[in-house]
Amino acid sequence: MTFTTRFAPSPTGPLHLGHAYSALLAHDMAQAAQGRFLLRIEDIDRSRARTEWEELIFEDLIWLGIAWEAPVMRQSEQMDRYRSALEMLWNQGLLYACSCNRRDILAAATAPQEGGSPLVGPDGIVYPGTCRHAGARAPAACPPEAALRLDMAAALRRLGLSEIRIDERIHQGPCVKSAGEIIETIGDIVIARRDMGTSYHLSVVLDDAHQGITDVVRGADLFEASFIHAVLQRLLGLPAPRYHHHRLIRDAAGKRLAKRDDAKAIRKYRAEGLRPEDIRAMVGL
């Protein structure tokens, strides 16, 4: 199968050195494999996504010497596919509606009977399960504007798997987790946010499959989330890609770069007269 990878930025701020590294590495790998490189705009968070940022992403990537296949996929245009997948999981009884807000979750997760300090997984505080038996479920209709959670224990029972393995090619972490570990340390993640009708996790697995991605190249900060993605791929009958979770580019203090680190924004380096080769050297490519 042709090596097919993608760069999937969210247009919520300027690209920084970390994004440049990820995009260049994926692009280089596709070229070396005589494969395909696609671009996907992950704009499901309508409250934060901006056209201006999307345009700047295109400009920065072109300047870096990156070329992608047309057309560019925009997640905001894929909502019907996300909804069908949600309804499929809902009808299997694997989702439930959750009405907890952040404060409720923190309070329940820090209650003395929970041990006092909340467990944090790849998706934030591991959900203490408040709505697992109280929230709406199939056969009730799938509510259109509600937060929906995946019942992780039910999902793993449905799959009949005692462990989940991911095919990881760079990151050194253990590539297998037992079902018990996934239930305990990841738990019932939000699969559709009330304000979005989807989530990063659901959209990313559906779109990687839809775009025929064989190789996902992204930062090591998303390594743990890959176990969520592996569960969803299996539930939805989607192929599982190979993963390449690369090292993170850090600032001088060793902190990983965030969108707000405008100091490391590619547009800033461009304005200062640096060349794409300088950016490659700065990220060690």
Q: How far is CA 29 from CA 40, 78, 134, 204, 214, in A?
A: 17, 27, 48, 20, 12
Strand 190-192 relative to strand 147-150, pairing = antiparallel
Residue 28 to residue 73: CA distance in whole angstroms:
21
Instruction: Considering only the stretches 7-15, 92-100, 164-172, 276-284, report the one whose residues sit in contact with ligand GLU under the rule CB under 6 A.
Output: 7-15
Q: How far is the CB of 42 from ligand GLU (least distance, A)?
A: 4
- 277's enclosing H/E stretch is helix 276-282
* For ligand GLU, the closer CB: 40 or 132: 40
Q: How far is the CB of 269 from ligand GLU (least distance, A)?
A: 19
Residue 53 to residue 278: CA distance in whole angstroms:
23
Instruction: Considering only the stretches 2-10, 43-51, 58-66, 230-238, report the one whose residues sit in contact with ligand GLU under the rule CB under 6 A.
Output: 2-10
Q: Scan residues 177-236 and list those touching ligand GLU (CB under 6 A).
A: 204, 218, 222
Q: How far is the CB of 208 from ligand GLU (least distance, A)?
A: 8
Q: How far is CA 112 from CA 100, 108, 134, 144, in A?
A: 19, 9, 22, 35
| Residue-wise DSSP of 57-78 | HHHHHHHHT---PSSPEEGGG-
* For ligand GLU, the closer CB: 167 or 184: 167
Instruction: Considering only the stretches 3-11, 106-114, 172-180, 239-247, report the one whose residues sit in contact with ligand GLU under the rule CB under 6 A.
Output: 3-11
* For ligand GLU, the closer CB: 100 or 226: 226
Pair of tokens at residue 40: 């996907």
Among positions 4, 8, 190, 265, the unique one binding ligand GLU when judged by CB under 6 A: 8
Residue 183 to residue 178: CA distance in whole angstroms:
9
Q: How far is the CB of 212 from ligand GLU (least distance, A)?
A: 15
* For ligand GLU, the closer CB: 98 or 216: 216
* For ligand GLU, the closer CB: 150 or 204: 204
Q: How far is the CB of 218 from ligand GLU (least distance, A)?
A: 4
How many residues sit in the footprint of ligand GLU (CB under 6 A)?
Answer: 7
Residue 224 to residue 246: CA distance in whole angstroms:
13
Q: How far is the CB of 50 from ligand GLU (least distance, A)?
A: 14
Q: How far is CA 271 from CA 94, 264, 268, in A?
A: 50, 12, 5
Residue 58 to residue 41: CA distance in whole angstroms:
10
Is 9 a binding residue for ligand GLU by CB under 6 A? The answer is: yes
Among positions 42, 151, 207, 215, the unique one binding ligand GLU when judged by CB under 6 A: 42
Torsion of CA 57, 60, 66, 70, to 10 degrees: 40
Q: How far is the CB of 280 from ligand GLU (least distance, A)?
A: 20
Binding site for ligand GLU (CB under 6 A): 8-10, 42, 204, 218, 222
